[in-house]
Amino acid sequence: MQGVHTAARVVEQRLQGLHNLIWKVATPVLILTLLSVPVAADESAEDTSTDAIIDRYVANTQAQESSLRGMQMDMDINAELPKLQKQGKLHALRHISRVGQITYQGLKFIGDNTIKNDVVVRYLRAETESQNIPQMGITPKNYKFKYKGVLEQDGRRLYVFHLTPRKKRVGLFKGELWVDASTYLPYRESGHFVKNPSIFLKKVEFTRDYEIRDGIAYPKHIESTVDTRFWGKAEMSIEFSNYSPDPSEHASMPSGEEPSR
């Protein structure tokens, strides 16, 4: 009888050993299988979410374009050539017509003429000329979007994208786009232009911030560093303020037409 019990224990021990061996082999395979399923699902969900963010951003940005037309705003530029220790300040009234044309009025400049002629004036000219360049918008047609994640700033939740232009064209830049999660409007654009707007300007880097109010992203502040061909590095800080309907634009509206806001 004792021999029977001994044999049973031996069989039980061997079965337990076989059971442990099976789990040692099967467990890693099972873990890898289980892990692979949610990862694939998450990537698919992220792709769908990313596409949805981009689509809403493009739609809302295009929808607000007409809201900035027929507007005027104060613009203050502070510029400096550190190497030459030269500074200058310009104040102007910036107009955006109902067809999107940008003009300036009441320009007042204080400072060195080198700053005025070779930095500020060239910047304003480049901005004006860029109006004639079609298809400059931040859209999938012009850029490749790469989702980088979410960040919190100034109480806002922001989606961060890395942008790469599909073509080397004046007005397009390589850098980052921050999209406000509640309005899907731009909060910040930053990077460097992939093609210089002027032969007198070399590398142009910038950070462009927006203020979002009433469903509109108003340009608020631009910080720019420009390598000039003759004077070295130039630094510019531009502030926009006091947005209001342009009286001259709305005075010329046909009877019954409402101003864009």
- The predicted-structure confidence for 52-95, as pLDDT tens digits, reads as follows 999 999 999 988 888 888 999 999 999 999 999 999 999 999 99
| Look-up of token digits 């004077």 | 231
Where is average pLDDT lowest: 18-27, 93-102, 223-232, 248-257? 18-27
Whole-number Cα distances in Å, 99 to 103, 192, 246? 12, 27, 13
Mean pLDDT of 131-136: 61
**What whole-number distance in Å separates Cα of residue 227 and Cα of residue 203?**
5
Give tens-digit pLDDT for 232-252. 899 999 999 999 998 877 555
Please give the residue that has the higher pLDDT: either 14 or 120: 120
Q: Among candidates 197, 208, 207, 214, which has minimal Cα distance to 131?
A: 197
Q: Look up tokens 């109902």; give the residue.
A: 98
pLDDT of residue 12: 54
Contact predicate 75/94, CB 8 Å: yes
**Domains of the chain by residue range:** 62-245
Mean pLDDT of 101-128: 87
Instruction: Tabulate helix, strand, coil % of the chain (nearest 5).
Output: 35, 40, 25
* pTM of the shown model: 0.75
Q: Copy the structure tokens of residue 175.
A: 């850098």
pLDDT digits 0-9 by tens, 148-180: 999 999 899 999 999 999 999 888 999 999 999
Percentage of the chain beyond pLDDT 90 is: 49
Measured CA angle at 17 (ends 11, 20), to 5 deg: 140
CA angle 209, 211, 215 (to 5 degrees): 130
Q: Is the pLDDT of residue 29 over 50?
A: no
| pLDDT surpasses 50 at 135 | yes
For 127-141, 143-157, 227-241, which range has the lowest pLDDT when averaged over its residues? 127-141
The CA distance from 140 to 185, in Å, is 15
C-alpha span between 180 and 256 (Å, rounded) = 35
Residue 47's pLDDT is what? 46
- The distance in angstroms from the start CA to the end CA of the chain is 98
